[in-house]
Amino acid sequence: MKRVLLAFVCILLVIPVAADSYSLDAFISGVSNGVKGFGLGLFPLGTTFGFETYPQLFEGESKAEFQIEISFAFNNRTLDANYDYMTGCPVWAMSTAEREKASLFAGEEWEDRTLSYFNPRSDLDIYLDQGFWKNPLNENGTLLNIRLGFNLRYAMSLEEVSYSLPGHGGLVSPTFVNQDGSSRKPFGPGAVLPAYPWLNGSRNVYSDYLYLQLSLNMDRNTPTDAEPEEGMSVDLRLEYGPWWLLNNLTPEGIQSNFFRAVIYAEQKMEIFSIMQDNGWYWMNMYVGHSDNLSYVWGDVIPENKIPGDRLRGTLQDRIWLHFTGPQFMAGDCYTYIELNLYNTLMFGNVANEISGTTSAVELQTVFSARLQLRLFGFIRVEYQVGYDIVQGIWPDRPRWWQNSGISFYVSL
Amino acid sequence: MLILSLPLYSIGFGYHVFDIRTEPEFGKGIFPTSVMYQFNFPVPDLIENCKTEFAFRLDNGLEYRTLRQDPVTGEYFAKKPWAYDYPHEYTVHFDEFNLFFAQGFIDTEFSDNDLLTAFVSIDGRFEMAFERLSWMTDPDSKEGVFWDENGDYRFPEEELLPGAPELSDDRSMFQTYISFGLNVDYMDDDVTTRDGIKGSTYVRLSPEWMILTDGTGSFVLWETEIHGAYTLFEKPMVSKKDFTWFSLVLDDKLAYRYLHGDRIPQYIMGGELWGPDVPASSSAITNRLSLSLYGPQLGKDTYPSITIFWDFGLGLGRMLNSSSSMRIAETVASYGIRAEFVIAGIAEFYYEIGCSYDPVFNEDTYVEQRFGFSIGV
């Protein structure tokens, strides 16, 4: 623990040297949605906020950005019963006989337990970002940005809060312990669950990683989100969270040991726009295309870096059409409709499997339409509908889905 | 409707983060558990040079609380310690919002605030209480405030708990209220030096007939606070303007809080004190006298400081949330030293040691010390 503090202090002590002024500006970048069971799902369960300052690091170049972003959230999560917690082998790679012998969070001994648990967590993210050269399409922007950052996470996995409420079953079926409070197999002090390293021992997790991001940005300047976007950008992001980087501090053993690389490229083009007299838009439309390739290496992948369906590689292609309706009352009151087509290829070995032998290829196609109403930059009312086609490891049928919600969000 | 009628091109929200709090059981107190922040709607100043504020304030997160009174009878646990031999700490998830309007009068050149500021706000607070975070994590921590070690519920489930109304039923509450008040600010506050006086007085009305409230609260609060400060000594830096080598500041903060009502939630009771809680009574007076040594200032917001404080609390009058009509006059007090090092105004290391005199809840004086790191504003 002391080492976490020390690292954090060292980073903080560097700021005054680099910064023009010692004070940092505060910002709030998001307020998380509520969850049912907590105040009707209406009240926020977490907040993301931070502090930033713009020191001049290099003469003649644009100012750098130093930012500390902090977030916390108190949500429920569900235990994933799809992987053998001792070997990490996925259910889909097992025969029926193997499945019966496997250590899964499923079957008879789990019938009296709910798989839901309380997962309070908090993240600290610190980075320094320096831009070089002018972006030809945006006078205020830079062409190449180099960002060096550090991300630290703390999370607890505890019994679901509703258990402690009267009339909700009380202590009848806790997830991690017996009714007398003693640990229930396979959890407890000294427990090691290679497939779920964040559930080891006392289930308190400290994990962190360093990251380096190179961004090439040739996007047009869009002061508000209601404007049609145009331009292209490429990002390369490398994340490194080895075990020796404060990831083995707790008695729970190594919480993280991974390396992850992501390449992202996107292009956007305006199709049309019709202006109002006051400089707002009646409507506008742009089309976008992006590709995202990521791969994660390492034998202990932390919870926040587990890829979809646990396959180490992901290649995603997205095409979207974005239609913005009239701006009204204020510049950031408008509606938009976005049609998306995602094609995702997941491939490679299964993450957090000890033997490292199981591999698969999976293809997902998702079509979705999103309708959003934004009011004053911080209220968002959203409706989404989509159609999924999944081919690969799960015996899924194509299906329609929809969701709607209201959220409070700050985008500036 | 006020927002809609203003001719706004693009609303640029201003925002502040006011307060970040931590709890020792969550990430050793390094990671935050709650934060208070505010969005300012851009409104023009109605009076020239005087600040007009129209803002939405949110305070949300998780905090620990100690149950001091029997929820059924309202009796102090400390009066019968043998009958209540179980943990008294529990966790509360809370969200509070205030939509407020404030108008300043008379500009002072040395303070960000005007000399007088009047405000009115519409507020709401949601809370849900559950066992402390370490509950049920091992065989030694299976006993909670609400559940005994056999898995039986300690308090009646279906009826109102007069001693802790917000813990009735499913232990969640939603209360709405109206607040209004007046702030006076005649203080020149420059981080390491302070001179002048400021104060506030406000009323919070939370009657049962307020719209949307779930009826778990019914109270009126009136609170008045006066804070005076005087810089006894200051040695400014010659090379850096507005920086000091050393300064010595004397502060005194006096607060009076009057509460009336038959269902008074925990969050509104007491007063700020190092160590003990102020007994829940209709009148509460708290005072903090402190002497702080600042410097040298490494940056505007990076500096060490040492504070010697003496805190005093007095609970007077009728015991709150109690079936007995007993009147009390109880004092609690503490004194101690706090040493801290603030970096860039947001991170601080501190060590504090204090001695508490707490005859209501504890028989002997006791010494506590804390060492920590926190992110705060």
Instruction: Give one DSSP letter per residue of B157-174, joined into a string.
Output: SSS--TTSGGGSTTSEEE
CB spacing of A181 vs B169 below 8 angstroms: no
DSSP run (H or E) holding B334: strand B327-343
B134 CB-near residues (< 8 Å, 6+ apart): B25, B141
Q: What is the mean pLDDT of residues A404-408?
A: 73
pLDDT of residue A408: 64
- As a whole number, mean pLDDT of residues A363-382 equals 86
Q: What is the mean pLDDT of chain A?
A: 84
Contact B213, B206 (CB under 8 A): yes
Residue B155: predicted pLDDT:
86
- ∠ CA A108-A114-A115, nearest 5°, is 95
Q: Which residues contact A380 (CB under 8 A, 6 or more apart)?
A: A372, A373, A374, A406, A407, A408, A409
- Mean pLDDT within A177-193: 82
- Cβ–Cβ contact A174 with B under 8 A: yes
Averaged over B85-95, what is the pLDDT? 89
Residue B234, pLDDT above cutoff 90: yes
**Banded pLDDT at B287 (limits 50, 70, 90):** very high
Rounded CA separation B145/B133 (Å): 12
Q: Which domain holds residue B274?
A: 2-375
CA distances from B280 to B270, B318, B324, B360 (A): 6, 9, 13, 11
What does the pLDDT average to over B240-250? Answer: 91
For residue B312, what pLDDT is reported? 93
Which residues of chain B does A330 touch, with a Cβ-Cβ cutoff of 8 Å? 8-11
* pLDDT given for residue B6 in this prediction: 32
B-chain residue closest to A51, CA distance: B346
Higher per-residue pLDDT: B87 or A162: B87
| Helix (H) or strand (E) segment spanning residue B301 | none
- What's the confidence (pLDDT) of residue A411? 44
DSSP-based three-state secondary structure for B178: strand
Q: Does A55 touch chain B (CB under 8 A)?
A: no
pLDDT score of B363 more than 60: yes
The pLDDT of residue A167 is 66
Considering only residues A268 and A41, tell me which one the structure prediction assigns the higher pLDDT. Answer: A268
Residue B10 has pLDDT above 90, yes or no: no
Residue from the list B30, B39, B302 with its beta carbon closest to the beta carbon of A22 = B302
- Angle (CA) A302-A303-A309 rounded to 5° is 110
Whole-model pTM: value is 0.84
Q: Quick one: pLDDT at residue B299? A: 83
pLDDT value, residue A29: 60
CB spacing of B346 vs A124 below 8 angstroms: no
Is the pLDDT at B376 greater than 90, yes or no? no
Residue of A11, A24, A165 to mutate for B, most B C-beta atoms under 10 A: A165
- Identify the bridge partners of residue A321 per DSSP, sorted by sequence position: A287, A339
Taking only the tens place, the pLDDT of each residue in A110-131 is 877 778 888 999 999 999 999 9
Selected residue with higher pLDDT from A392 and B296: B296
- The whole-number average pLDDT for the span B260-286 is 88
- Using one digit for the tens of pLDDT, what is the confidence trace for A301-352? 999 999 988 999 999 999 999 999 888 887 778 999 999 999 999 999 999 9
Q: Chain A residues with CB inside 8 Å of B144's CB?
A: 164
Question: Is A22–B170 a contact, with Cβ atoms under 8 angstroms apart?
Answer: no
pLDDT digits (tens, 9 = 90+) for B152-207: 788 887 788 888 988 888 888 889 999 999 999 999 988 889 999 999 999 999 99
How high is the pLDDT of residue A37?
58
Q: Letter for the amino acid at B23? A: E
Model confidence at A41: pLDDT above 70: no
Mean pLDDT within B263-281: 86
Q: Is the peptide bond before B296 cis (omega within 30 degrees of 0)?
A: yes
Q: Which helix (H) or strand (E) holds B180?
A: strand B172-189
Q: What is the pLDDT of residue B177?
A: 93
The span from the CA of B61 to the CA of B36, in Å, is 9
Asked if pLDDT for residue B374 goes beyond 80, the answer is no
Residue B258: its pLDDT value, please? 95
Q: Which of residues 3-42 of A touch B (CB under 8 A)?
A: 4-5, 8-9, 12-13, 15-16, 19, 21-24, 26-28, 31, 38-39, 42
Note the pLDDT of residue B3: 31
- Among B91, B18, B22, smallest CA distance to A124 is for B22
**Secondary structure letter of residue B2 according to DSSP:** H
CA distance A339 to A323: 9
Question: What pLDDT, on the 0 to 100 scale, is given for residue A31?
Answer: 62
pLDDT above 60 (res A33): no
For the stretch B313-361, pLDDT in tens is 999 999 888 877 788 888 999 999 999 998 877 778 889 999 998 877 7
| Per-domain residue ranges of chain A | 222-231+267-412
Could you give the angle at the alpha carbon of B169 between the alpha carbons of B165 and B171, nearest 5°? 70
Residues A145/A217, Cβ–Cβ less than 8 Å: yes
Q: A1, A54, A72: which to substitute to probe chain B, counting the most B Cβ within 10 Å?
A: A72
**Residue B217 parent element (H or E):** none
Structurally, chain B folds into a number of domains equal to 1
- Cβ-nearest to B60 among A47, A68, A158: A47
Q: How far is B30 from chain A (nearest CA, A)?
A: 8
Domain CATH code at residue B286: 2.40.160
pLDDT at B43 over 90: no
Lowest pLDDT segment from A136-140, A345-349, B286-290, B359-363:
B359-363
Distance, in Å, from the CA atom of B237 to the CA atom of A241, rounded to the nearest integer, reads 44
Taking a C-beta distance cutoff of 8 angstroms, is the pair A380, A393 a contact? no
Quick one: pLDDT at residue B4?
30
Among B16, B127, B130, the strongest candidate for a mutation testing the A interface, having the largest count of A CBs within 10 A, is B130
d(CA A161, CA B129): 9
> For residue B329, what is the enclosing H or E element?
strand B327-343
Contact B137 A158 (CB under 8 A): yes
The CA distance from B271 to the nearest CA of chain A, in Å, is: 26
Instruction: Give residue for tokens 């109880």.
Output: B330
Residue A381, pLDDT above cutoff 60: yes
**How confident is the model at residue A56, as a pLDDT?**
86
For residue B89, pLDDT over 50 is answered with: yes
Instruction: Give the pairing type, strands A334-350 and B194-206.
Output: unpaired
Tell whether the model's pLDDT for residue B30 goes beyond 90: no
| Cα-Cα-Cα-Cα dihedral sign, residues A37, A38, A40, A42 | negative
Q: Both tokens of residue A38?
A: 């907590």
**At A13, is the pLDDT very low, low, confident or very high (cuts 50, 70, 90)?**
very low
pLDDT of residue B136: 79
Look at residue A28 in the predicted model and tell me its pLDDT: 62
**φ/ψ of residue B196, rounded to 5:** 125, -160
Name the residue with higher pLDDT: B166 or A179: B166
